[in-house]
């Protein structure tokens, strides 16, 4: 974190492509500047700084820094408009008698970063969408040694292993802003690389194969969901239905949705008034969020086990191969946000299966409570995380 002296030097010094001044937290361009500083086109390797509470002429705007202002600015990281998630710090500061909020944005390890489907960069004091050449520079700057598994290249894979029809018809319209898509001046390889599905060397990444691969299990054997519907409450109970759900991520998510909806039972209650009340044994949103979490956060690198979705007569168990990751631990689970597979997180958000990062567990809890189900139970082990959802009485 920058010191007060560092910040005052940036505030009072010469104009810089690392610094921006905003009068209020309601400024619509804040996300674009965060995106541009994360892309760090000039290659400073230092954080970009946004001073919220200063006029363009650098005079104090007398901003009242309330908790609402802090929450609004902190939520810019996780509201899903900026992908992949930027690394930033939001702090309340008082410098030379002026109250303000300082946003420090770290350069991204895996550029380009997009804001609402467009790549924004800063050159001098100009903020603009990246040209094809600038986009190429950002792609070539990725830091290999810090890559997550899903952003690494797969040397024995080629462009033929990706479903380019799925990419162009389903993913691109969801990932890119309409005006960016309308330009249509970049080759498909360039688009794939900008979205981290293709490495600068031309090899598909694991994230690309999992997201739009023709046969992901050929490269990642555990990339499937094992669904089991049992007649009783034990694993040895008679099996009513069983499926292996595999394929590219859009197909897997859609089929999981279909299966959850098909197996939920809805009962009627006519005892509480003249109108019939229909209520499911499980709320579909809670099951969706916990299933998406398991698919997203699982360990694809060292485990060949599938995500397990076992539906018993009295409960549902969703098992994710891979323990908690990064900053997440049993005490802050459902509150802290960290991603083992950031490329997949971007894919799931882009396709609309999650509306905001970090809300899945909270949404599941809220919908279970509203439906009358017990709260979800979680078991944390080094090799897996298991969620248990009890049936509504």
Do 382 and 239 sit in the same domain of this protein?
yes
Q: Domain for residue 136, yes or no?
A: no
**171 lies in some domain:** yes
Number of folded domains that form the chain: 3
Residue 93, in any domain of the structure? yes
Confidence category of residue 180, pLDDT binned at 50, 70, 90: confident
In a domain, 140, yes or no: no
Helices and strands, number each (H, E), in the chain: 13, 16
Do 232 and 373 lie in one domain? The reply is yes
Check whether residue 73 and residue 164 sit in a common domain: no
69-81: pLDDT as tens digits: 999 999 999 999 9
Q: Between β-strands 126-129 and 114-115, what pairing exists: parallel, antiparallel or unpaired?
A: unpaired
Same domain for 368 and 321 = yes
Predicted local confidence at residue 277, as pLDDT: 65
Instruction: Please report, for residues 12, 272, 347, 393, the alpha-carbon distance to residue 275 in angstroms, rounded to integers and kept in the order given.
Output: 68, 8, 42, 20
Are 189 and 329 within one domain?
Answer: no
> What's the CATH code of the domain at 90?
3.30.950.30
Q: Is residue 42 part of a domain?
A: yes
**Domain hosting residue 327, numbered range:** 224-390
Measured between alpha carbons, how far is residue 160 from residues 39, 163, 193, 249 in Å?
Answer: 30, 8, 15, 17
Regarding whether 229 and 200 lie in a shared domain, the answer is: no
Domain C-terminal end among 170, 186, 212: 212
Do residue 236 and residue 338 come from a single domain? Answer: yes
User: Same structural domain for residues 51 and 175?
Assistant: no
Nearest-angstrom CA–CA distance, 40 and 48: 8
Residue 169 lies in a domain: yes
Integer angstrom CA distances of residue 303 from 129, 297, 299, 320, 322: 40, 12, 6, 10, 8
For residue 119, is it within any domain? no
Residue 271 pLDDT: 56
CA–CA gap between residue 114 and residue 63 (Å, rounded): 29
Tens digits of per-residue pLDDT, 279-334? 899 999 999 999 999 999 999 999 999 999 999 999 999 999 999 998 899 999 98
Reported as a single tens digit per residue, the pLDDT across 216-252 is 999 999 999 999 999 999 999 999 999 999 999 999 9
Confidence of residue 378 (pLDDT cuts 50, 70, 90): very high
Q: Is the pTM of this model over 0.75?
A: yes
State whether 63 and 95 are in the same domain. Answer: yes
Q: Cβ(361)–Cβ(340) under 8 Å?
A: no
Q: How confident is residue 184, by pLDDT bands cut at 50, 70 and 90?
A: low
Q: Is residue 206 assigned to a domain?
A: yes
Question: Is residue 57 scored above 70 in pLDDT?
Answer: yes
**Residue where a domain stops, chosen among 177, 212, 247:** 212
Q: pLDDT tens, 14-53?
A: 878 899 999 999 888 999 999 999 999 999 999 999 999 9
- Looking at the structure, tell me whether residues 244 and 369 fall in a common domain: yes
Token pair, residue 352, equals 């609309």
Last residue in a domain, options 158, 190, 212: 212
Based on the fold, state whether residues 249 and 188 are members of the same structural domain: no
Residues 89 and 158 placed together within one structural domain of the fold: no
């Amino acid at each position: 974190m920058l010191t007060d002296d560092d910040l005052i030097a940036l505030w009072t010094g010469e104009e810089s492509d690392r610094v921006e001044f905003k009068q209020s937290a309601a400024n619509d361009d804040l996300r674009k500047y965060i995106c541009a500083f994360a892309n760090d086109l000039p290659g400073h390797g230092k954080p970009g700084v946004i001073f919220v509470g200063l006029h363009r002429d650098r005079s104090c705007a007398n901003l009242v820094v309330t908790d609402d202002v802090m929450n609004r600015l902190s939520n810019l990281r996780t509201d899903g408009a900026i992908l992949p998630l930027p690394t930033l710090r939001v702090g309340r500061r008082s410098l030379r008698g002026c109250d303000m909020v300082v946003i420090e944005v770290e350069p991204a390890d895996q550029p380009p970063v997009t804001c609402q489907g467009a790549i924004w960069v800063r050159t001098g004091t100009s903020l603009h969408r990246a040209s094809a050449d600038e986009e190429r520079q950002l792609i070539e700057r990725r830091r290999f040694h810090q890559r997550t598994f899903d952003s690494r290249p797969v040397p024995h894979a080629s462009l033929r292993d990706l479903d380019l029809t799925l990419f162009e018809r389903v993913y691109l319209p969801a990932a890119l802003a309409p005006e960016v898509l309308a330009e249509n001046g970049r080759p498909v390889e360039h688009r794939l690389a900008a979205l981290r599905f293709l490495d600068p060397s031309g090899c598909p990444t694991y994230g690309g194969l999992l997201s739009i691969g023709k046969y992901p299990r050929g490269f990642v054997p555990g990339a499937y969901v094992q669904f089991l519907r049992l007649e009783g409450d034990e694993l040895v109970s008679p099996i009513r239905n069983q499926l292996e759900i595999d394929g590219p991520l859009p197909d897997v998510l859609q089929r999981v949705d279909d299966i959850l909806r098909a197996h939920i039972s809805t009962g009627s209650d006519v005892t509480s008034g003249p109108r019939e009340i229909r209520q499911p044994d499980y709320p579909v949103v809670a099951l969706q969020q916990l299933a998406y979490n398991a698919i997203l956060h699982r360990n694809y690198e060292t485990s060949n086990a599938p995500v397990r979705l076992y539906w018993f007569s009295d409960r549902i168990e969703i098992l994710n191969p891979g323990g908690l990751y990064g900053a997440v631990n049993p005490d802050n689970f459902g509150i802290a946000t960290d991603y083992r597979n950031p490329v997949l997180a971007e894919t799931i958000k882009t396709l609309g299966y999650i509306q905001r990062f970090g809300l899945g567990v909270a949404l599941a809890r809220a919908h279970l409570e509203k439906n009358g189900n017990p709260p979800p139970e979680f078991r944390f082990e080094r090799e897996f995380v298991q969620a248990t959802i009890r049936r509504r009485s």
